């Protein structure tokens, strides 16, 4: 190992700290018959211990050189490498039914937000996801209303998943060290949505719209959808800033708009 020059454009920061790797694998608690897929195996820092724990592992990697390296060093019998862009990969092709896929990855930080939304589109296939991400992003994923981290990402991901901050990871755990702090997050899709909406596209559009004006009262961001009186009637104070609204508030507002349009 070590023969591969890390590529910045692929967001390559390889995990080298064995204690962190073991702690992450313990948190994932892989079982032999788990249907596990690793995004961005890189040089195999996580791939090896995962392969030791599951009967078969799938991996999605973009960099051909790394794939060649992995194929030289790891047993093909127990690993299927898909050379693909994870942002376009159809994870449902690996699934064996609803809630079957366990997704793991030390993700390239430049693609982590779009990748999160891509995976959400296939969330019915997913049992859980464990990701190493920039710590700031984990803070936003696990945020609660009324804090500066609470925003579109928090609302849209928490709509589908419970989010748990597992532990922080310092730059020194990687080679080369990234310029930012990292952390591990666990995303567990809800068995039952806590705040279901009747029109998901509308909900997504509304959350987006409201947070583009996060410093203004929510009635400003909702102008296109509802009057202040209608917001009030839905049980939400129209004078609040968007970062004070809960997931349930956003769902209620979206459902109010949908009902008015029906
Ligand atoms: N898992 C390894 C580790 O922990 O050492 C590597 C982590 S590195 C931060 C990210 C990995 O994702 C690299 O191997 C990189 O080539 C790969 N990658 C980057 N963009 C990707 C994409 N769009 N789809 C799939 N893999 C990608």
What percent of the chain clears pLDDT 70, i.e. is strictly above it?
Answer: 99
Can you tell me which residue has the tokens 């009057």? 227
Give the confidence band of 4 by pLDDT, cuts at 50, 70, 90: confident
Ligand 1: centre distance to CA 206 (Å): 33
Ligand 1: centre distance to CA 262 (Å): 45
Give the confidence band of 3 by pLDDT, cuts at 50, 70, 90: low
Element (H, E) at 259: helix 247-261
Nearest CA to ligand 1 atom 5: 14
Nearest CA to ligand 1 atom 21: 62
pLDDT, residue 7, reads: 83
Q: Residues annotated in the binding site, as ranges?
A: 13, 15, 40, 61, 85, 106
Whether 242 is in the pocket of ligand 1, judged by its Cβ within 6 Å, is no
pLDDT, residue 247, reads: 98
What does the pLDDT look like over 78-90, one tens digit per residue?
A: 999 999 999 999 9
| Strands 35-39, 57-61: pairing kind | parallel
Give the confidence band of 5 by pLDDT, cuts at 50, 70, 90: confident
pLDDT, residue 1, reads: 46
Whether 111 is in the pocket of ligand 1, judged by its Cβ within 6 Å, is yes
SS (H, E, C) the chain: CCCCCCCHHHCCCEECCHHHHHHHHHHHCCCCCCEEEEECCCCCCCHHHHHHHCCCEEEEECCHHHHHHHHHHCCHHHEEEEECCCCCCCHHHCCCCCCCEEEEEECCHHHHHHHHHHHHCCHHHEEEEEEEEEHHHHHHHCCCCCCCCCCHHHHHHHHHEEEEEEEEECHHHEECCCCCCEEEEEEEECCCCCCCCCCHHHHHHHHHHHHCCCCCCHHHHCCCCCCHHHHHHCCCCCCCCHHHCCHHHHHHHHHHHHHHHC
- Helix/strand/coil for 54: coil
Pocket test of ligand 1: the residue of 108, 111, 171 to mutate, having most ligand atoms within 8 Å of its CB, is: 108
- Lowest mean pLDDT of 112-116, 193-197, 211-215, name the range: 211-215
For residue 106, list its beta bridge partners: 132
What does the pLDDT look like over 44-64, one tens digit per residue?
A: 999 999 999 999 999 999 999
Whether 221 is in the pocket of ligand 1, judged by its Cβ within 6 Å, is no
């Amino acid at each position: 190992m070590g023969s591969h020059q890390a590529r910045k454009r692929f967001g390559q920061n390889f995990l080298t700290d064995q204690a962190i790797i073991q702690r992450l694998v313990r948190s994932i608690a892989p079982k032999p018959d788990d249907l596990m897929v690793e995004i961005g195996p890189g040089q195999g820092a996580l791939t090896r211990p995962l392969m030791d724990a599951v009967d078969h592992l799938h991996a999605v990697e973009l960099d051909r050189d790394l794939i060649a390296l992995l194929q030289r060093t790891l047993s093909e019998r127990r690993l299927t490498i898909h050379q693909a862009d994870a942002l376009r990969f159809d994870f449902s092709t690996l699934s064996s039914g609803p809630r079957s896929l366990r997704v793991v990855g030390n993700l390239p930080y430049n693609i982590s937000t779009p990748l999160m939304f891509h995976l959400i589109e296939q969330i019915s296939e997913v049992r859980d996801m464990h990701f190493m991400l920039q710590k700031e992003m984990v803070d936003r994923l696990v945020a609660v209303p009324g804090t500066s981290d609470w925003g579109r990402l928090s609302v849209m991901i928490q709509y589908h998943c419970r989010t748990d901050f597992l532990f922080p990871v310092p730059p020194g755990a990687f080679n080369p060290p990234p310029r930012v702090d990292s952390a591990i997050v666990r995303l567990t899709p809800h068995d039952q949505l806590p705040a279901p909406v009747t029109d998901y596209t509308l909900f997504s559009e509304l959350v987006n719209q409201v947070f583009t004006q996060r410093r203004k009262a929510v009635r400003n961001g909702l102008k296109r959808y509802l009057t202040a009186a209608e917001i009030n009637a839905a049980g939400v104070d129209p004078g609040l800033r968007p970062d004070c609204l809960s997931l349930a508030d956003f769902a209620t507002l979206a459902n109010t708009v949908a009902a008015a349009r029906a």
